[in-house]
Amino acid sequence: MNKVNTHIIIIGGMSCAGCAITVENTVKRLHGVEAAAVNFASGKLTVSYRPDSITLPDIQKAVHAAGYELILSTSKGEEADRLHYGRLKRQTALAWLLATPLLIIGMAYMHLPYACYIMMALALCIMLLCGYSFYINGIRHAMRGNADMDTLVALSTSIAFLFSLFNTVYPGFLSENGIAPPVYYESAGVIIAFVLLGKLLEERAKNSASSAIRGLMELQPRTACRIADGREEEVEPGALNANDIVLIRPGEKIPVDGLLQKGTSSVDENMLSGEAIPVEKNPGDKVWAGSINQKGAFTMLTTGAGEATMLGQIIRAVQEAQGSKAPVQRLADRISRVFVPVVALTAVLTFAVWMIVGGVSSFPHALLSAVSVLVIACPCALGLATPTALMVGMGKAAERHILIKNASALENLCKIDTLVMDKTGTLTEGVPKVVDSYWLSETDSFYLDILYTAEMKSEHPLSNAIIDWMKDSGASVIEPELFESITGHGVCITLNNNVYWAGNRAMLEKFHAHIPEAMTKQVERWGENGYSIVFYGNETALLAGIAVCDIVKPTSYATVKVLTRQGIDVHLLTGDSPQSAHNVAAALGITYVRAGVLPQEKENYIKALQATGKIVAMVGDGINDSQALARADVSVAMGKGTDIAMDVAMLTLMTSDPLLLPYAIRLSKQTVRLIRQNLFWAFIFNLAGIPLAAGVLYPAFGILLNPMIASAAMAFSSVAVVTNSLRLKFMN
């Protein structure tokens, strides 16, 4: 069986979804390529090929021949994206700086001396300095038979400018026939400014794709301490092999997957499980790359390195999930692929017909009608339809602390029928808090001071919950004779030759402390609720029990209720214990629950739902959610979660209030509805305006659309689109 390699490669030079289709088809046709998919949103090609039949440089040459660049170096690709985005920002700013006076003169001050020449200079600067890529790409695509928005922009602005230039230099050509020579410089300039603005909004969303991968890679430590022949040596994690012995010191990140060999410790696995409480590790236990050793040095036996680690698999899975998303197919581009040649052909036919039947004034009529067709078919309204609605929708979302990163999120969010939610930090606060306590002795200041001192000296995450709980108790720190932290058990302090301790059930058993019958039922109830229990006692007896848990957010219940009312199935997916997960689900009215899952299992859960035809949104806040977030149709991150989750996610709830979710879905429906309305009316305007501009009413009614009127009608269509988008501000 022939080996098949799969790579994800950055593409340079794409300007629209049509470009993505061209690159994809070019690569698919190559001998030795098994599969190819271009994600226009991320600007990447995912290609599977047989290395014995074709190489990456061969694919690169084919893509270059098609007019695009395949950037095999990730660092060079990121640098190219950064430079392109900066250049686009400068071009957009300059275009609007020049278009503003151009529009003002064209609309109100045409009587000024040399007004036409001033407008000509401003429009020419916009076209050459800001819009040159439209003409380069438009010509290139037209030569290959691919018409897109660039082609339409290049064609309409060129005709408008050249016709205006002719009338400026030779005004008598039309005036001798009783026709005032119009100019349309402002149309050419403003079209480019608006389209550049739309492309800038698009690039802003695309540039965020690679930051998620970089953030994941930063979880890997730069060095590892390998023990070989009894000596310690610093090496790169990539140099480690299976069965190497690695030393992990307190506070260090674990560089590779492996088995703990000697020593004990607690390890923060929040990046995998999403749980804030570190996991106690003993010899033989599994440890994961990217997790953090909290306390206690240990040695480990390497079982996986590089892409073979759990973290490496997460990185790879996020890359593939992002690459597997369908290209963002903007309706305006789809229309323009057919619309451009139709408009061009209509203009040519209009000119030809008028030259045949126009009589004495056939040439002026033919030229005016052909230009009217091209001017009225200008894509200004089409170019405004999506960006204006997005700007208003995103602005309104920002007012409610919802960050929307791209249009595909808006399009798909209103279609979802299934919402999968993480537990910790999403439906719950994500921080352990004391929820109950049971004291077997009087809670006098002496015992409170001892417990407060023990927890202040402890490094266990649960100690912070107890300290916060005791802040208003009046307890103070005292100086013990001895303090000892027992890994995996708890802490001990000695005062006046008496030992006091606080810890888990292992510590309880270590001191042979007995839980009285009066307290047994309470402890069982805590266990049933999934609470973590801290026992506190002395050498002879148990003094108290304290229940700690991650409490449910106040708005979580209302969120689930509203989502259910909207017809959305809510699923709870967590790496926490089944008992804790089912307790939270029962409290919130969630029917579908899956607990104890790892990142890969979360992604598989999403894929299984999608395989049944479900449109799935995933809500999470941790690195462990990044695979599932990338795989979901719509991904939502909580603002107080990790940067990785927020980078991968299409939407971020900046206040971490889950009740923003139903609002975001409703806002998505409103915004998408306006976008569709804008595109529909922009297209209908052209569908009705082009025949009118061509002069179909002239034989029967003597009505011939002047290019100036066509230009005004085009401007009206743009105003109508913007006005329709602004209605979103007043919707609830």
**Rounded alpha-carbon distances, angstroms, from residue 620 to 153, 282, 623, 658, 703:** 41, 30, 9, 10, 61
CA atoms of 139 and 151, how far apart (whole Å) = 7
CB-based contact 488:264 (threshold 8 Å): yes
Can 576 be counted among the known catalytic residues?
no
CA atoms of 681 and 305, how far apart (whole Å) = 56
CA atoms of 162 and 83, how far apart (whole Å) = 32
* Per-residue tokens: 558: 């209302």
Compute the radius of gyration of the chain from its Cα atoms: 33
* Per-residue tokens: 16: 């629209």
Q: How many beta carbons lie within 10 A of that of residue 242, not counting itself?
A: 12
* Per-residue tokens: 726: 């602004």
Provide CB contacts within 8 A for 218, sequence distance 6+.
none
**Rounded alpha-carbon distances, angstroms, from residue 482 to 231, 492, 722:** 35, 8, 73
**Rounded alpha-carbon distances, angstroms, from residue 511 to 500, 501, 504, 508, 662:** 10, 9, 11, 6, 51
* DSSP secondary structure of 595-628: -S--HHHHHHHHHHHHHTT--EEEEE-SGGGHHH
Q: Pseudo-torsion of CA 19, 25, 26, 27, nearest 10°? A: 110
Q: How far is C-alpha 496 from the geometric centre of its chain's CA atoms?
A: 59
CA atoms of 541 and 563, how far apart (whole Å) = 50
Q: Tell me, what amino acid is at 307?
A: E
* Per-residue tokens: 306: 């590089």
Which of 150, 422, 621, 657 is the catalytic position? 422
Q: How many CA atoms are closer than 13 Å to the CA of 257, on its beta-carbon side?
A: 14
Q: Tell me, what amino acid is at 226?
A: R
Provide CB contacts within 8 A for 317, sequence distance 6+.
599, 600, 603, 627, 630, 631
Q: Write out the catalytic residue numbers.
A: 422
